[in-house]
A and B are shown apart, each in its own frame.
Chain A
Amino acid sequence: DGGITQSPKYLFRKEGQNVTLSCEQNLNHDAMYWYRQDPGQGLRLIYYSQIVNDFQKGDIAEGYSVSREKKESFPLTVTSAQKNPTAFYLCASSNSDSGGEKLFFGSGTQLSVL
C-alpha cells in the first residue's frame, strides 16, 4: 500500500543533542512538507520541498534543518538551537506544487525533551 511512513513514533532528546526524524513516501509525490503541532495550535509549516535537492523555509524554520537527496525521503533534524522542541511533528506529501492537491500525512512523531 502506498503511503507516508514516519519514524520513530516517539523520540526523546537530551539537552544539546541533535535528533533526526525520518519521513519516507512511496506515493511518487514531488512535494513534501514538515509541520509542527503544539496543543491548542494549528499545524505550523517548518520546511517544504517541491523537488529533489531543493527546499524552502516555512514560518518556523529556526532550529531545524532538512535535506531532500531522494524523492521519497525528507528527513528533519531538530538541532540544539531549537530551544522548545517538544511537539508532535507531521510529515506530508502532495502530488504536485499546485494548491489544489490534497496532502497525505504520516502518523507523526512525538518529540519530548528529557
Chain B
Amino acid sequence: QQPVQSPQAVILREGEDAVINCSSSKALYSVHWYRQKHGEAPVFLMILLKGGEQKGHDKISASFNEKKQQSSLYLTASQLSYSGTYFCGTSPNTGNQFYFGTGTSLTVIP
C-alpha cells in the first residue's frame, strides 16, 4: 500500500520550479506532505482531504486528484531552504494508518 513518488531526486537552481508526484494503487481518503532535513524529524507541510482540493503555503502548493489516486506537490521559485527529502503520506480511509512514499530528494543550489 506504499505510495509511489516521482522523481526520486531532483536538483534545482534557486528560483526554479519543481513538481513532485505521489500515486497510490488504492483509493485515498487523505494525502499528507512532509519535508525532512537530514537526521531530523519530518515537518508537516499540508494535508489534502478532498478530491480536487488544492492548497498553498507561500510558494509551495499541492493538489489531490481523487479519481487518479494521486497528488502533486508544486514548489515555485525555489529557495535554498527548500532542500530536503519530501514524503507523501496517504491514508486509505478515516483510520490513522498512514503509508509513506519512498521520498524525493530535492537539492536547491545557488
CA distance A41 to B104 in the complex (A): 10
Residues of A within 8 A of B (CB-CB), count: 30
CA distance A77 to B101 in the complex (A): 25
Shortest CB-to-CB span from A86 to chain B, Å, is 15
The interface residues of chain B lying within 8 Å CB-to-CB of A50 are 96
Shortest CB-to-CB span from A67 to chain B, Å, is 19
Shortest CB-to-CB span from B92 to chain A, Å, is 8
The interface residues of chain B lying within 8 Å CB-to-CB of A105 are 41-43
Within 8 A of A (CB), among B51-110: 87, 89, 91-103
Which A residue sits closest to B49, measured CB to CB? Answer: A100
Determine if A99 and B100 form an interchain contact, defined as CB atoms under 8 angstroms apart.
no
CA distance A35 to B40 in the complex (A): 14
B98 partner, pick from A88, A99, A104, A110, beta carbons under 8 A: A99
21 contacts between A and B (CB under 8 A): A33-B96, A41-B103, A43-B87, A43-B100, A44-B100, A45-B98, A45-B99, A97-B94, A97-B96, A98-B94, A99-B93, A99-B95, A99-B96, A100-B29, A100-B47, A100-B94, A101-B96, A102-B32, A103-B34, A103-B44, A105-B42
* Residues in A lying within 8 Å of B, measured CB to CB: 31, 33, 35, 40-45, 48, 50, 56, 58, 88, 90, 94, 96-108, 110
